[in-house]
Amino acid sequence: MGRYIMGRLVQSLFLLIGVSMLTFAIIQMAPGGFAQMVGENPDATAEDTARLTALWGLDDPIHVQYLRWAAQMVQGNFGNSLAQGRPIAQMIGERLPATIFLNIIGLLLIYVIALPIGIYSAVKQYSKFDHTMTFLAFLGQAMPAFFFAMLLIYYVGMQVEGIPLAGMATIGVEWGEVPFMTWLADRSRYLIMPLSVIVFGGLAGLVRFMRASMLDVIHQDYVRTARAKGLSERVVVFKHTVRNALLPIVTSLGFAFSGLLGGSVVIESIFAWPGVGLLAIQAIFTRDYPVIMAFNLIGSIMLVIGMLVADILYVVVDPRIKY
């Protein structure tokens, strides 16, 4: 087990080195680069451009530039934003809690709602409930999240009083400054819209996945044996089937989290949720390359950690797998 985890850690490290190289390479393909952006400034003279090129080491060979950048990254120094001039680590650090807050609640709700539906669908395969849910899941997978968000804003948000359509909190309602219940009520109101869209977006896929995984297990011989020896349906389903059917779902958790991170770019920009997604889209518009590079790296670090945790969990929860 220890050796397995070590092996996977080393593998993840190489993966992240690959990611940093790819990200660096894509940004290098940008026409012009930093120095030329200064050149677009009408007040900048040729000397200014040359001075900045020398200052930033832009005339060094490409591998020297990469290594210099990578060495900074390893030390946790993501550099400064071109647009705001502030340290990127600080900018992302400020925004991360809002995104994680939204996504963790979203992820929890998705699993709490989707798993029972998937399980029940599979147990009652081809029933009216199963057909309806499968159909709805199919519709859900084809529905663009932003279109769903627009419809929700128009038909619910604009009709019902007291549902905020943008932001995360009312100004002045801060933790510790108002009674806890007031704080909780305020945060909950702001969560309604973005959370509904996140949950809607993740639900369909997971229901189908859970149902398929359940059906795989339910047709196994040992489930038939359990039935044959007269165990109650409840014991067969919950003790023998669900526990095994949940194994592949555990693996999906790692991907689910980083998937939400990408999806929250759209949701945060619709609801002006002050998280990293909103920052990412601003960076794209201003071509703030250092910020974009930092995003790719942080995104992949989260994905790689997610996969690593999922793999280890898989070994822990499934005694059939030994390393």
Name the residues that contact another protein, by CB under 8 A. Answer: 14-16, 18-19, 21-23, 26-27, 29-30, 138-139, 141-147, 150-151, 153-154, 158, 258-259, 261-263, 265-266, 269, 280-281, 283-285, 287, 289, 292-293, 295-296, 299-300, 302-304
* Least distance between another protein and beta carbon 99 (Å): 13
Beta carbon nearer to another protein, 231 or 309: 309
Q: Is 193 exposed, middle or buried (0-12, 13-18, 19+ CB in 10 A)?
A: buried
**Alpha carbons 166 and 270: distance in angstroms, whole number:** 8
Beta carbon nearer to another protein, 91 or 265: 265
H/E stretch holding 2 reads helix 2-28
* Least distance between another protein and beta carbon 16 (Å): 7
* Least distance between another protein and beta carbon 293 (Å): 8
User: 214 with 245: CB under 8 angstroms?
Assistant: yes
* Least distance between another protein and beta carbon 262 (Å): 3
Beta carbon nearer to another protein, 226 or 310: 310
Beta carbon nearer to another protein, 22 or 235: 22
Question: Of 217, 208, 219, 190, which is closest to residue 137 (Cα–Cα)?
Answer: 208
User: 50 with 39: CB under 8 angstroms?
Assistant: no
**Alpha carbons 274 and 167: distance in angstroms, whole number:** 7
* Least distance between another protein and beta carbon 105 (Å): 20
DSSP 106-140: HHHHHHHHHHHHHHHHHHTTTSHHHHHHHHHHHHH
278-286 long-range contacts (CB < 8 A, ≥24 apart) are 278/95, 279/91, 279/92, 279/95, 282/83, 283/81, 283/83, 286/82, 286/83
**Alpha carbons 114 and 213: distance in angstroms, whole number:** 13
Beta carbon nearer to another protein, 146 or 209: 146
Beta carbon nearer to another protein, 20 or 53: 20
Beta pairing partners, 300: none
* Least distance between another protein and beta carbon 66 (Å): 15
* Least distance between another protein and beta carbon 229 (Å): 30
